[in-house]
């Protein structure tokens, strides 16, 4: 019996030694497997853009830096102006006199190596003063078309609501279709074609309220408020340093027409998922069914949110749209396209408040 027990113990001993000898190999294999999995997970998490946006971001940084040499604060306004260019849309800038509406638009145009034209809207301005007119040439005995100031790449329309409706209506075709039709002839605008318009609040004297059809052609309505105390002090310090020099002389042009058209094409390629497009549609439909709104948003508004959210995504260095991009675009896109009911307007309710309520009410897709 003792011999059998000894033999059994001898048989068991080598097996235990063999198990101990193989244990480190198994441990090493497990460690290698875990390392490989973690490496692959890291590679999956560190995604790369499918669209190269590096040149676009560098260009935007240069533009912002140039405008920041003169304009104090107003980062939201500058972002929306840049986004409107990338989205190939027009912007309406509203604020009381003296808050740098006009100078901001001029600085933006100066930072771009493109054609620039300024039109000062006045009560006696005629449509032909903007678009151009046919003039009879005595030598050739034919009418020749003389182009108006609208024939440029970036148009600054200063105080657009100081002109009557017939002059404002002259912009309908050119803002929507980038062309004008005069005497049966069609004239196409040179691309890029961007309109930046400023207006004083409609409550001020000598203003004409823009019709809904005109407002709907602007991608953004940008509200500019007064600067705070620190910004006001910095404005005074910069003015003192100028010593009579011109603010616009500090600006250097960086982006060409070809680059801007290229960036606009890149923004069009930014990816948006179908559930996010439904998210936009839900917002727009909500404006039409909202009891506080007399006029809801049109399909042009949903397209505007789509384009603006793509521009904001590209400015953030992403080639895909997120719900935050859509929420960021909603207020400046919708606030001039919807009308509050008279009852709510008398109570002091604003379009911005209602739009923010709609944004909070619509479920964010996951």
Determine, yes or no, domain membership for 8: no
98 and 133 share a domain? yes
> Could you say which of 269, 302, 334 is where a domain stops?
269
Structure tokens at 213: 């059809």
Q: What is the pLDDT of residue 25?
A: 53
CATH number of the domain at 139, please: 3.40.50.300
- Kindly give the residue spans of alpha helices, DSSP state H, lying in the chain: 2-45, 54-68, 75-86, 101-110, 128-131, 165-169, 172-177, 212-215, 229-242, 257-268, 274-289, 299-315, 323-334, 342-346, 351-361
Confidence of residue 32 (pLDDT cuts 50, 70, 90): low
> Could you say which of 234, 269, 304 is where a domain stops?
269
Task: Find the mean pLDDT for residues 25-31.
Answer: 49
76 and 206 share a domain? yes
Determine, yes or no, domain membership for 33: no
Examine the pLDDT at 341 and tell me if it is beyond 50: yes
Q: What is the pLDDT of residue 52?
A: 82
Determine, yes or no, domain membership for 185: yes
CATH number of the domain at 351, please: 1.10.8.80
Determine, yes or no, domain membership for 248: yes
**Closest alpha carbon to 279 in 305, 318, 308, 307:** 305
pLDDT in tens, 115-151: 999 999 988 899 889 999 888 888 887 888 899 999 9
264 and 274 share a domain? no
115 and 218 share a domain? yes
Q: What is the pLDDT of residue 100?
A: 80
Structure tokens at 7: 């033999």
172 and 116 share a domain? yes
237 and 334 share a domain? no
pTM for the whole structure: 0.80
> Could you say which of 223, 249, 269 is where a domain stops?
269
Determine, yes or no, domain membership for 192: yes
Examine the pLDDT at 175 and tell me if it is beyond 60: yes
68 and 97 share a domain? yes
161 and 305 share a domain? no
193 and 293 share a domain? no
**Pairwise CA distance, residues 173 & 163, whole Å:** 17
Q: What is the pLDDT of residue 34?
A: 43
pLDDT in tens, 264-291: 999 999 999 999 999 999 999 999 999 9
Q: Tell me which residue range forms the domain holding 298.
A: 270-366
Determine, yes or no, domain membership for 177: yes
Domain count, the chain: 2
In DSSP notation, 246-291 reads: -GGGG----EEHHHHHHHHHHHHT-B--HHHHHHHHHHHHHHHH-T
Examine the pLDDT at 258 and tell me if it is beyond 60: yes
Examine the pLDDT at 68 and tell me if it is beyond 50: yes
344 and 217 share a domain? no
198 and 344 share a domain? no
Determine, yes or no, domain membership for 22: no
263 and 279 share a domain? no
Determine, yes or no, domain membership for 3: no
């Amino acid at each position: 019996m003792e011999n059998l027990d000894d033999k059994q113990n001898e048989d068991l001993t080598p097996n235990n030694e063999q198990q101990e000898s193989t244990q480190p190999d198994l441990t090493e294999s497990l460690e290698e497997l875990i390392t490989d999995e973690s490496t692959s997970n890291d590679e999956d998490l560190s995604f790369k853009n499918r669209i190269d946006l590096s040149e676009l971001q560098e260009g935007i940084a240069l533009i912002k830096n140039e405008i920041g040499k003169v304009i104090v604060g107003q980062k939201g306004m500058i972002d929306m102006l840049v986004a409107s260019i990338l989205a190939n849309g027009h912007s309406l800038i509203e604020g009381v006199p003296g808050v740098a509406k006009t100078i901001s638009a001029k600085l933006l145009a100066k930072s771009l190596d493109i054609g620039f034209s300024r039109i000062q809207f006045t009560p006696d301005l005629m449509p032909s003063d903007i678009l151009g007119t046919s003039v009879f040439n005595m030598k050739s005995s034919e009418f020749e078309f003389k182009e108006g100031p609208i024939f440029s790449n970036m148009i600054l329309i200063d105080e657009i609501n100081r002109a009557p409706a017939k002059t404002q209506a002259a912009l309908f075709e050119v803002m929507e279709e980038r062309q004008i039709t005069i005497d049966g002839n069609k004239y196409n605008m040179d691309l890029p074609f961007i309109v930046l318009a400023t207006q004083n609040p409609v409550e001020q004297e000598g203003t004409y309220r823009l019709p809904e059809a005109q407002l709907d052609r602007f991608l953004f309505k940008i509200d500019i408020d007064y600067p705070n105390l620190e910004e006001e002090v910095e404005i005074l310090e910069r003015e003192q340093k100028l010593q009579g020099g011109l603010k616009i002389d500090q600006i250097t042009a960086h982006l060409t027409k070809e680059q801007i058209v290229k960036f606009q094409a890149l923004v069009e390629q930014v990816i948006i998922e179908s559930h996010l497009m439904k998210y936009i549609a839900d917002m727009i439909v909500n404006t039409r069914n909202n009891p506080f709104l007399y006029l809801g948003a049109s399909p042009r508004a949903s397209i505007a949110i789509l384009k603006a959210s793509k521009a904001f995504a590209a400015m953030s260095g992403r080639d895909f749209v997120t719900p935050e991009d859509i929420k960021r675009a909603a207020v400046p896109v919708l606030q001039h396209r919807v009308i509050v009911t008279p009852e709510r307007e008398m109570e002091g309710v604003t379009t911005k408040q209602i739009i923010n309520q709609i944004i909070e009410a619509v479920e964010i897709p996951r």
